[in-house]
Amino acid sequence: MAFGRLERTPGPQPMSEINVTPLVDVMLVLVVIFILSAPLLASSIRLQLPRAEGAQPGAPVAAVVLVLDASGQAFLDEAPMDAAALAQRLRQIAAHNPDTEVQLRADEAVPYGRVVQIMGAAQAAGLQRIGFVAQPPYQK
pLDDT digits (tens, 9 = 90+) for 15-69: 778 888 989 999 999 999 988 888 776 644 444 445 555 545 555 678 888 888 8
Number of independent structural domains in the chain? 1
- Whether 75 is covered by a domain: the verdict is yes
- Whether 38 is covered by a domain: the verdict is no
- Whether 27 is covered by a domain: the verdict is no
The predicted structure's pLDDT at residue 53: 54
User: Does the pLDDT at position 1 exceed 70?
Assistant: no
- Whether 105 is covered by a domain: the verdict is yes
Q: Compute the distance between CA of residue 87 and CA of residue 89 in angstroms, rounded to an integer.
A: 6
- Whether 126 is covered by a domain: the verdict is yes
**pTM check: above 0.75:** no
Q: What's the pLDDT tens digit per position in 97-106?
A: 888 999 888 8
- Whether 35 is covered by a domain: the verdict is no
User: Does the pLDDT at position 95 exceed 90?
Assistant: yes
Q: What is the CATH number of the domain that holds 76?
A: 3.30.420.270
Q: Compute the distance between CA of residue 105 and CA of residue 109 in angstroms, rounded to an integer.
A: 12
Q: Which domain holds residue 85?
A: 63-132
